Amino acid sequence: MPSRKTTKEEEKAVAEISKERLRRITKVHRHHLRTNARVLKYGAKSFVRNTWLSVAAIAIMAVTLVVLSATIIATHAMGTAINKIEQQVDMSVYIKQGATEEQVERIIGRMTQLETVVSVAKTSPDEANKEAIQKILASVTGMSEEEKKVYEQNLYDAPNKLPWTLNIKLINLNDTSELEKFVAEDESITNMLDARPPSYSTGHRETIDRIAAMMNRIEMVGLIAAGVFAIIAILVVFNTIRMAIFNRKEEIYMMRLVGASRWFIVGPFVVEASFYGVVAAIIAGVLSYGIVFALKDNFGSTLAPTFDIMTKYWYFVAAALLVAGILIGVLSSLLAIRRYLKQK
């Protein structure tokens, strides 16, 4: 059985080892912090030193980010326009004038149970007739008030009356199959249909299709343009970093001789390129918000929801632009440095 003295000595030795390990870990952490601070400092100096090259790189990166954000904004705005048009469009089914309100309500009840139907609104024959007469009177010109009153009375006395009208809003205007099947087969409505055929398609659908096609084209062209500018930006930053490397090649050579770490050599160029991305993201953000704000008065109903989202979630927009800008800068710098180090 070990003595109490031996146990205390062992515990003391373990404590000393633990303290030494802690000192080493602390020393390594401090070394890493100093290294990172120096890398950041050298990268900032290089960014300021290469002013004109930095301006060129930042400009092309800013254009890239503006084109990308403009594409996303335009796509969202057109999607908003399509949703608004779809909300205003409905399908029409006509029920015989002689149908009772109870029969019409029964048809509406069964129709609203369809999965593709959002809502159903009814217009009675009297309401439809009155609305049609008012439209006719509004288009009539060159009549005196007395003549217009007589004409209006004749229209009301005319034997031809309009049928019940059911205005149906669908979840998807392009999916009318369930409604068509209901109208053709459901026993509650088959014998109640008016001679006027249901309206399953409207002129608005062509407008929606045109906007959707335009949205797809803008999205495709915008993404292609953003991709082209991104490649140009990578090439510009790549050449900018290469020139910075050539200007400091003797310094890099000396650092490699004294055993500097790879990160200490590569880091300043990555930091410099990251600064390009940060400044470009700030410029692109200001331009994007400025453009949307300037156009909001002319395209208020279309751009207002997009602007509201950009205002409410500005931090997401800022983060996305920063990430995209820094990513382009870091990728370009790593490619340039890797090529230089491989050559050496």
User: Each residue of 96-142: pLDDT tens digit?
Assistant: 888 888 888 888 888 888 888 888 888 887 787 777 777 766 776 66
Which residue type is seen at 24? Answer: R
Q: What is the pTM of this model?
A: 0.60
The whole-number pLDDT of residue 10 equals 60
Listed residues 159, 183, 201: the one ending a domain: 201
The pLDDT of residue 70 is 83
Please indicate, yes or no, whether residues 79 and 109 belong to a single structural domain of this protein: no
Mean per-residue pLDDT, 319-328: 89
pLDDT at 325 over 80: yes
Tell me, yes or no, whether 252 lies in a domain. Answer: yes
Report which listed range, 85-89, 106-110, 213-217, is most confident.
Answer: 106-110
Answer with the one of 201, 234, 268 that is the final residue of a domain. 201
As a whole number of Å, the end-to-end CA separation of the chain is: 64
Identify whether 20 is part of a domain: no
* pLDDT score recorded for residue 28: 46
| pLDDT exceeds 60 at position 265 | yes
pLDDT over 80 (residue 82): no
The tokens of 202 are what?
Answer: 């409207």
Lowest mean pLDDT among 79-83, 117-121, 146-150: 146-150
Inter-CA distances, 270 with 41, 129, 261, 337, Å: 12, 74, 15, 9
Q: Given a cut of 50, is residue 34 above it in pLDDT? A: yes
pLDDT over threshold 60, residue 311:
yes
State mean pLDDT over 220-225: 81
**Structural Rg of the chain based on CA atoms:** 36
Which of 175, 164, 169 has its CA nearest to residue 90? 169
Domain match, 98 and 49 both: no
Q: How many CB atoms lie within 10 A of CB 57?
A: 29
Do 119 and 196 fall into the same domain?
A: yes
In 3D space, the residue among 183, 163, 156 whose CA is nearest the CA of residue 123 turns out to be: 163
Question: Is 123 within a domain?
Answer: yes
Claim to verify: residue 190 and residue 233 sit in the same structural domain: no
Indicate whether 339 and 213 sit together in one domain: yes
pLDDT in tens, 3-33: 555 566 666 555 555 555 555 555 445 545 6
Higher pLDDT, 198 or 47: 198
Tell me the mean pLDDT in the region 215-239: 80
In the predicted model, what is the mean pLDDT of residues 264-293? 84
Residues 293, 177 share a domain: no
Residues 48, 108 within the same domain: no
Whether 260 has a pLDDT exceeding 70, the answer reads no
**Does any domain span residue 304?**
yes
Q: Average of pLDDT values for 307-314?
A: 83
CATH classification at residue 130: 3.30.70.3040
- The mean per-residue pLDDT over the stretch 173-196 comes to 81
Lowest mean pLDDT among 26-35, 45-54, 104-113, 156-165: 26-35
Q: Does the structure show a pLDDT above 50 at 147?
A: yes
Higher pLDDT, 169 or 299: 169
State whether 80 and 214 are in the same domain.
Answer: yes
Residue 296 — pLDDT band, cuts 50, 70, 90? confident
Q: Are 288 and 314 members of one domain?
A: yes
Q: Which of 201, 236, 259 is the last residue of a domain?
A: 201
186 and 214 belong to one structural domain? no
* Domain limits for position 112: 90-201
Tally of domains in the chain = 2
Please give the mean pLDDT across all residues of the chain. Answer: 75
- Note the pLDDT of residue 282: 92
Return d(Cα 44, Cα 148) in angstroms, integer.
82
pLDDT tier at 242 (50, 70, 90 boundaries)?
A: confident
Are residues 113 and 233 located together in one domain of the fold?
no
pLDDT of residue 153: 67
Does residue 168 fall inside a structural domain?
Answer: yes
If asked whether residues 196 and 212 sit together in one domain, one would say no
**Is residue 113 in a domain?**
yes
Of the candidates 69, 48, 49, which has an alpha carbon nearest to the alpha carbon of residue 279?
48
d(CA 151, CA 92): 29
**How many other CB atoms sit within 10 Å of the CB of residue 257?**
8
pLDDT of residue 247: 72
What's the pLDDT at 207? Answer: 64
Asked if residue 281 belongs to a domain, the reply is yes
Assess if residue 5 is contained within a domain. no
